[in-house]
Every structure is written in structure tokens, then in C-alpha cells.
Structure 1
Amino acid sequence: MRLLPALTLTAALAAALAACQPDAAPVADGNTDATPPTSATSATTPTFVAEPWALPSPPGAAQPDLVATADGLLLSWINPDADGHALRFSRFADGQWSAAQTIARGDDWFVNWADTPHLAATADGALWAHWLQQSAEAPYAYDVVLVRSDDHGASWSEPLRVNDDGTPTEHGFVSLWPASVDSLGIAWLDGRETAAAKGHGGHDAHAGHGGGRMTLRAARFDAKLARSGESMLDAATCDCCQTDVTMTARGPLVVYRDRTDAELRDIVVTRFDGNRWGDPTPVHADHWTMPACPVNGPAADARDDTVLVGWYTAANDMPTLKIARSLDAGDHFATPVEVDVGAAVQGRVDVAIGTDAAWVLWTREDEAGQTLQLARYAPDLSRQLQRIELARLQGRGRGTGFPQLALADGTVRVAWTDVVDGEPRLQGVVLRDPENIE
């Protein structure tokens, strides 16, 4: 998706609604951007270099999910499969990829550039995965489907619908986390309250044309896929921005884009303390007024009680990428740092916290094309240590989706979708400290 910095209300609404379409062609515009910020480095600060990282996915793969686990990384993707699609994955451990395995196939899936499947692992060795399945003929009627594997992905349980409301509305933008040794927590955007809205499956509610609001819900599923603890975390959220979750020392912290009656679309968090979800807390009051969903959700990562959140905003008609840090598991956040500012900033952010640095990944697009950017900050965000242009992409607009950033065993790796000769394919890089390369 491409957001313009100074849209009229009508143009902004049209752009946002177009961004939610699953099949829209990639677009670009001719906007220029402000000069990127420079990095602060010193003789004692290592300068990382990006090296190609071969991925196991075939040509045609898209919608990647890259997840760090206790024993390596998991990468999933969607491939076209006969008249439908297949969700596949591979595990990266000890420097090599396992043979790709199929999680599921279907010809009734909702496959979208922004609302993508996710993988998770629990401490009992189980793997969990979800995808979106059409629930009615309406274009935006689909449910969240969940499966579990107890044999490292060789076989999977029967699919279970996470949302059981039965309404032909949107359900998606999922976040997964380990709720216990063998159970999974899941949060999702739930459109059951939009069923009375005009249009197909309540999709017109994205533009605020009446009807109910999109809600944020969460539940827990045990090893038998039995549901418990379902609750509504927020009664009004942005309709089609990704949610994210990170595990703090005080429980899972869900981060998402809120929506007020005045159409403010700022980022908030809520944490589960073991008994209840807390009231939504703003990360920062950007006061971004937007009449439709920007399809540009936040990202979060945590180490103990330290939380890093990254997000896109276009408050005051200025596209901006920000990061902010909390030292108390998300109860309070410091003043945000502006990572990138200007018309070329697309957002599509991901973040990671290491022992000695904070990392942020995002995309830019101008008349020269789309680029993938990575910045490294001091742990307290006091200075930018390095900024790298990881790749110049052949694809533009929505075709390149949302890049993925993962930190495992002290190594940063990135995976993303490019469009090469009209066909999507996944690309990857690994960040190396030249002084430690053998």
C-alpha cells in the first residue's frame, strides 16, 4: 500500500479502501522524500554487513512468516496449488533448512497481501499454525482457522475455527503466543459486530459508513484444541491493521492500532497479567486522524520488562516511522524516536531487541522504486548506530507485502517478498559483524 502525505478526505478514503482489496495491482507514485537520517557510528561500534540467505521456498511463494523459537527459526509461506493454495513451512537449525512440509491445502482460502498466516511453537514441542478460510460468498467473509502438530509438522490436527460467531464477516490479523507449556494464546480482529453494516460482509465499515465496529478478541487453546478464556480486549479497533504480540516478564503484550469515534488511529497496547487483560494504553498520542484503515500495523518485541514498539503514522500529513521503548512491560513508554520521515516512508515495520542493540525494519517507495531498510539503535534508543539499505526491490506497492525480521542466537535475519518478472518469490539476508566472520 502507498499512502500520500497530503490527501484530501475523498482521496484518502479511496486509497485506504483500495488498500484492503486482496487482488489490487501494485501501485507506485511519484512522490519524493526527505533526505534519510544519517547514522551515528564510532571506532568501537561494529558495522554489520548483509549477506544473502538462501530460503527453501520455491518461486511463486509469498506471505512469509519468520519466527524465532528455542531451537532455531520457522519460516512459513503460501504457494499457489492447483486451483487453490498451500501453506508450507521449513525449520532453520544448525545452519541449514529442513525439507519443506505442507501444513494444509485449500481452494476456499482468503489469501491477502497484508493478512497472512502465522506459525508458533510451544515448549512441549508442538507447532501451531493458522490461516484464513472463506465462510460465505461475500468477498470479505472469512474465519480464522487453527491447527496443531505434535510430530514436528509431519501431521496436523483437524482445522478448528477460532471465531465461532458464525457471521459472514471479517476475522483475521492474528497474533499467536505460548500461553503455557502446551497451550496457545491467540488474538484476532473480529468483525461480528459489523454484520449490520452496509455492503459486503461489513467491509464498508472500514470507511466509517455505519454499522458496528471491528473488535479485538483473544482466547486460549489447550493441547486438545479446547477453548477457554475468550474475551473482548477492545470494542473498537482499526479494521485491517496487523496486530502483534510479544512476551514480557509480566505476560503477553498485544499491540494494535486503535480507532476512536473521532477516527484517531493511534497505537495502543494491552497486557494479560494471568487473570485479566489490562485497559488499552497508548504508546504515544500521535493524534493521527484517518477516515479509513491504513493497513499498516505496529510491531513489538521484548526482553524481560523492556519492550520495543515500532509503528507508522501520517499525523499532520507527514508519513513517519517511529519506535518507542518501555521499561515496565508496556505500562509506560518513553518519548518516541523518529526513524524515518517523508513521503517515501511506507512503514510495514518489524522490530527486534538484542542484548546490545535494537533493530527496526521497514520499506520505502518513491519514483525510483521500493527499498527495504534496516536500522540498528543503541539499546536505550539514544542514537542510531547504523542504517542499511538491504535491498532494492523489483516489486512495487502491495505485491511485496510485509517483510519479516527475526533475532535468534544473536543473529539477525530478514525475509521478504519480491516480485521478479511478474512472479512473487521470497528473498533473505543475514546480518554479520565482519570482525566475527570466520
Structure 2
Amino acid sequence: MRRQQIYHIAAMLLLSTSAAIHASHPDPASEDQAHAKPRPPKTTLGVGVTLDESGRLWLAKVENQQLLVARSDDEGKSFSNPVVVTSEPENISADGENRPKIAVARDGTVLLTWIQSLPQKYSGNVRFARSTDSGRTFSKPVTLNDDGRITSHRFDSLAIDGAGRVVVAWLDARDRDAAREQGGEFAGVSVYIAQSNDNGASFGANRRFQAHTCECCRIALAWTQEGPVVFWRNIFGVNTRDFAIANLDKGGMRRATDDEWRIDACPHNGGGIATDRQGQLHLVWFTNGAVRQGLFYKRLGGDWESQPLPIGDPAAQANHASVAAEGKTVLLTWREFDGSSYSAQMMYSNDSGVSWSGPQRLMESAGATDYPIPLIDGNKVLLVWNTAMEGLRVLPFDRLTAGKPSDKSSAKHAADKTGG
């Protein structure tokens, strides 16, 4: 695939605001759950970020068993004082494949989902809150899974159309548990969804979208011109764990990868998806299959698809990629480890994925890190990377070229600047 220099991308950040909520499902808390022995909190480097239509950067992070939200008007150089979303402490998942999700609608409503880890092994609830006053206050959190079971409801994904429709998808073990209670077998878990047509003021009943999916690979959602599209690691045949894709409104599951990764375990390695102006879908994923191994990218359009493009250095454990697209610009980010430090890597295209820059090593950290997250809207490009040693690092780009980023992109901002 040919490589070319990529054109100028000007600046402009995203944001809007937020505030109250009623959801149609009460919390399924039980006496057992309330009195179970609490589990120690996990690491909380996984953050949620988004840009709003005003160009502001929004951040959702977990500290001291509380979910906090802050925003930045200056590309992450400084943040507002964080607002507490969870008034009661919760053991919240924020560790890479499980992280808080944040989105901002056109009217400024701020929407959040996250996973509340329960004391029972692998169990959790999908939680939701929103703000309608520019993030100054948030509604009381509610639980979206409506089955009342203490089981695995995890690895959520959030997508909005910006005009009032909200979709939340997650991996759910209720069908597996029910089958086993009847003495039956059930491979994997299921994808369940909850939908709202009023910016999260209320949600309809849960709906099972797909049964027999991988147990702990994150789900990815993207909103296209034809509605929400979900990308997940499915179980094909007996135990082939390749990716599938489908429109949540229309159904019609399509096998998206043919790597033939046969494994009787969950890889704990989900994929990423984004859509561009032409309606193409851009996919990134990891595999260790019989056909190919490593990190890959490809694009889908109608009935055709490109050949998988290898990404990163397999010897450096290139892994956990994300993708973002706007217009004809597509960004790929991932993490590598060279034996002594982690690095945030990036490639980009300005022709909808036809040609690509070479990989760029943008940042390094010797301690524990989150996965790098790309953000793009209009002409604004940001890379967000949370690290244990240096804190939250935000890299803004005025220009993407085949060489080094502009001087402005050397910015590095610590997490304590969020006011947390």
C-alpha cells in the first residue's frame, strides 16, 4: 500500500453540556449483593474521552471509587474542577477493555455509562447517568441491565446520534446462567442492548441482539447514516473467535474477520470501529489465528472490503488499537512495549484509508499505562493517553504529515491538572 504525505488539518475542539435523568429500570440490588464482601478496587487508568460540537474535550475518570467528569477548553492544558457523578462509592471498572464511556449530544446533554463491579466473581452492572446543565450536575445513576441477576453484565459501549437517540450495548451472561440452571450448555455469553429516544431520560426494555459471543472482549459501536453498527468478537462454529459486525436496527450479522482463531478462552482483546463521510466502516482488531497473527486494519463499504493491513511491530506486542475518522481522515492508535517502556503509536490517512503514513512513536512511559485514544472532529485531532508516571497526556495536532507532528503536539499534561 503506498505511503504519502498527508495534508493540513486545522484546529477546533469539541464540547457541550449536560444534567438530569429518569431511567425505566430500577437497580436490581439484592440482600446478598449488599452484604457480600467487597473486592479491592482495580487500577483505574482507563479513562473515557470525547469532543463536543464546541471543540471542548470531556474527560470521565475514576478516583477513590468515584466517577468524575471534567472538561477542557484548551486542548487538555487545563481542566475544570471535576464533578462527582457517583455520590455513593462504587467499585468501577476502569482498566482498559472496561472503561467509562462519555458522549455529548448536540443540545449539550452529557451521557455516561460505566460498569459497576460487584463482589461476586466476574459480576457487574451497566450503569448510566446524564447531565442537562453543561456538566454542572448529574442525575442519580441507574442500572440499565433489567434482569435482576447478579451475573456478568460488562464491557459496555455507548453510541448516540446526537439528536436524542442513545444505544448502549454490553456482554451479558443471563442466557448462559439460565441454560446452566436447566442443566444445559451455552457457549460464551450474549450481546444485549438498551435504547433511549429522549437523550437518556428513559430507556426501553433490554433486548438480546446476539447469542454465543466471546465473554470479555470489548464491544465497539459506531453511528452510521443507516443507524448504529456494532462490532464484536463472536463464537463461530465450536470455538472460533473471530469478529462479526451488524446493524442494530436491521440485523443481518456479517463475519468481519476470517482469521480462524480457535481458542477455548476469551482473548480479552476487543476491536475498534469508526465511520467516515463516505459511509465506509474502518475496523481494527487483534488476532492470533491460523490465517494471520497480530494487529490489523481494514475498511468495509457496501459489499466490498479491503485486504487486512498489518499494524505495528508484533515483536513489540502491538495491541489494543483504536480508530477514529472524520471526513476523509482516519487515525489509528495502539500501544507497544519494547521490554522497558510502553509507547503510544499512530498512523493516519487523509484519503479514507486508501494510503497511510508510516507509524509514528509519539510518547513513551516506563510505568503502567492506559491504551492511547484518538479523537477527531472537523479539523481537530487529539491523542489522549493516561499513564501512571506522567499522568494524563493530551497531544494536539495542527498538522499531520509523514514526518514529525507539529511543535504544538509536544504538549504533555499531568492528570492533577483535571482538579482531581
With the length of structure 2 as denominator, give the TM-score of the two structures: 0.77
Change (3 A) 1:61 1:427: farther
- The question of whether the paired residues in 2 share the 8 Å contact of 1:196 and 1:211 is answered with no
> Any residues of structure 2 matched to 1:182-221 within 5 Å, and which?
182-195=164-177, 211=186, 213-221=188-196
The aligned counterpart of 1:236 is: 212
The aligned amino acid for 1:62 is: L
Give the direction of change, closer, same or farther, for the CA distance of 1:264–1:217 in structure 2 (3 Å limit): same
Q: CA deviation at 1:383?
A: 2.8
| Counterpart contact for 1:326–1:334, Cα < 8 Å | yes
Distance in 1, Cα, partners of 2:147 & 2:130: 22
State the match for 2:392 in structure 1. 426
Superposition CA RMSD, Å: 3.0
Deviation at 1:434, TM superposition (A): 7.9
Distance in 2 between residues matched to 1:290 and 1:284, nearest whole Å: 15
CA contact (8 A) 1:319 1:345 kept: no
Deviation, 1:121, is 1.8
CA deviation after TM superposition for structure 1 residue 380, in Å: 4.3
Given the alignment of the two structures, is residue 352 of structure 1 paired with residue 324 of structure 2, yes or no?
A: yes
**Residues in 1 aligned to 2:44 and 2:240: alpha-carbon distance in whole angstroms:** 35
- Is 1:404 aligned with 2:380? no
User: Match of 1:193, SS?
Assistant: helix
Return the structure number with greater strand share. Answer: 1
Which one of 335, 354, 357 corresponds to residue 385 of structure 1? 357
The corresponding residue for 2:263 is 290
| 1:415 Cα offset (Å) | 1.1
1:310 aligns with 2:284: yes
How far off is 1:210 after superposition? 5.6
CA distance in 2, matches of 1:171, 1:359: 30
Residue in structure 2 matched with residue 17 of structure 1 by the alignment: none
- CA distance in 2 between counterparts of 1:244 and 1:104 reads 25
Counterparts of 1:47 and 1:318, CA distance in 2:
35
Query: Which consecutive residues of structure 2, in runs of 5 or more, have no partner in the other structure?
Result: 10-42, 409-420
Alpha-carbon distance change, 224 to 233 in structure 1, aligned in 2, over 3 angstroms: closer
Q: Which amino acid aligns with 2:89?
A: D
Are the aligned partners of 2:259 and 2:290 in contact in 1 as well (CA < 8 Å)?
no
Q: Is the 8 A contact 2:94 2:100 kept in 1?
A: no
Q: CA deviation at 1:128?
A: 1.0
Alignment equivalent of 1:166, drawn from 143, 148, 155: 148
Question: What is aligned with 2:33?
Answer: none
Matched, 1:321 2:284: no
Which residue number in structure 1 is paired with residue 225 of structure 2?
Answer: 249
- Choose which of 114, 124, 128 in structure 1 pairs with 2:111: 128
Aligned to 2:235, which of 259, 263, 268? 259
Counterpart Cα distance in 2 of 1:78 and 1:162: 20
In the aligned structure 1, how far is the partner of 2:254 from the partner of 2:400?
41
Query: What does 1:369-384 align with in structure 2 at a 5 Å threshold?
Result: 369-384=341-356
Aligned residue in 1 for 2:69: 89
Match of 2:15 in 1: none
Q: CA deviation at 1:309?
A: 1.1
Question: Is the Cα contact below 8 Å between 1:72 and 1:91 reproduced in 2?
Answer: no
Percent of aligned positions with the same letter in both sequences? 21
The residue type paired with residue 225 of structure 1 is A
Residue type of the alignment partner of 2:174: R
Work out the number of aligned pairs and report it.
364
- Distance in 2 (CA, whole Å) between partners of 1:378 and 1:179 is 24
Distance 1:338 1:134, change over 3 A: closer
For residues 398 and 90 of structure 2, the distance between their equivalents in structure 1, rounded to whole angstroms, comes to 42
Structure 1 residues 340 and 103: alpha-carbon distance in aligned structure 2, compared to 1, 3 A threshold: same
Give the alignment's TM-score, normalised by structure 1: 0.74
Q: Which residue of 2 aligns with 1:7?
A: none
Alpha-carbon distance in 1 for matches of 2:92, 2:143: 14
3-state SS in 2 of match to 1:293? coil
Task: Give the partner amino acid of 2:102.
Answer: L
Q: Give the Cα separation in 1 of the matches to 2:393 and 2:321.
A: 17
Q: Is the CA contact (8 Å cut-off) linking 2:259 and 2:291 kept in structure 1? A: no
Find the aligned partners of 1:237 and 1:282 in 2 and give their Cα distance. 12
- Aligned partner of residue 353 in structure 1, secondary structure: strand
> C-alpha distance in 2, partners of 1:224/1:336?
37
The equivalent of 1:145 in structure 2 is: 127
Rounded to whole Å, the distance in 1 between the matches of 2:369 and 2:232 is: 22
Q: In the aligned structure 1, how far is the partner of 2:366 from the partner of 2:310? A: 27
- 1:19 match: none
Unmatched runs of 5 consecutive residues or more in structure 1: 1-37, 49-59, 202-208
